[in-house]
Amino acid sequence: MRSVLLVLVFPFLAVNTYSQNNALADLLAVPGTEVMDVAVPGPVAVETFPTYEQDRKPGKQLSNANGVRVLDVVRFERDAKNNTYRWGQLKIEDAALEEVYFGFRSASVGHNYLMFAFKGGAKLVVEVLPWKKKGEKFDPIVAGNTGKYDLVWNMVSFDSFLETAVGSQGLYADVYPMKLSREEKLRMLDVAIAEATRDYSGEKYNTLTNSCSSNALKVFAKATGHHLVLGRMLPSVVIKHLKARGFLGEPLHYDSSNWNKQ
């Protein structure tokens, strides 16, 4: 089984997105064991949230003690034949965090997300998406600005993210290493997990004010104290401004030629 990559992703205007405190002392704990996966059950027989698209679901943080977290409702690989995903638990250690990435995925105007890479190869994506009903098309202009869609935070292994976005949908994905201090990277992880696992029931997705891009930037602002004010909250514009401010390094690019060779 390939290593798990957790990525936090925040959708903004992504048309048809893939089918779309602890005390600082704890965060700065001395590095210990490497990240290990918790045994993960296979797809459940009965769907949870059966009226919604099954590629995105609210996640949970089951525990967070001594710098070790156990996350639940994390998306893993897809069964291509049945088009179902495996959902389960992932254990990560704060001290094993190696890198934090700000992501961009193509399709329409694009999509922003966060990705966290750990010692041992684990990678986690954290993202915000419109929680669409099954078979529903995403309309970012009208419906996306009038409260039609619920908001959902999605926690996904990077392998699963790439398989869907690149392998299945033929898109491309870039991840930019963030030029942050060790303390800021740890706070990025802490804030992202807190946001992704809080109670946001009843909260609506909004293309301009509560989207993949705005939420990724909210995590960035809370963790670093840097606030990026943009006239147009488009994923590509967010990347451009973060690069201009010196917060992003050179991207790792994934497309049909290399996505399954990482």
Q: For residues 98 and 122, is the Cβ–Cβ distance under 8 A?
A: no
**Structural domain includes residue 148:** yes
Provide the domain count of the chain. Answer: 1
Cα–Cα distance measured from residue 127 to residue 166, given in angstroms and rounded to the nearest whole number: 16
> CA nearest 191: which of 63, 30, 8?
8
Domain with 222, as residue range(s), is 6-261
**Structural domain includes residue 208:** yes
**Structural domain includes residue 132:** yes
**Structural domain includes residue 1:** no
**Structural domain includes residue 227:** yes
Output the pLDDT for position 230: 76
Give 182-202 as a DSSP string: HHHHHHHHHHHHHHHHS--TT
Residue with tokens 């389960």: 88
**Structural domain includes residue 203:** yes
Cα 79–58–129 angle (5° rounding)?
80
**Structural domain includes residue 19:** yes
**Structural domain includes residue 91:** yes
Q: For residues 236 and 104, is the Cβ–Cβ distance under 8 A?
A: yes
Residue 79: beta bridge partners? 84
Per DSSP, the three-state class of 127 is: strand
Output the pLDDT for position 122: 96
What would the pLDDT profile of 29-53 be if each residue is shown by its tens digit? Answer: 434 444 444 444 444 445 789 999 9
Mean pLDDT of 173-185: 98
Q: 117-128 burial, b for 16+ CB within 10 Å, e for fewer?
A: bbebbbbbbbbb
Output the pLDDT for position 231: 65
Share of the chain above pLDDT 70, in %: 81
Query: Which token pair is 17?
Result: 């997105």
What would the pLDDT profile of 205-248 be if each residue is shown by its tens digit? Answer: 998 899 999 999 999 999 999 998 876 778 999 999 999 999 99
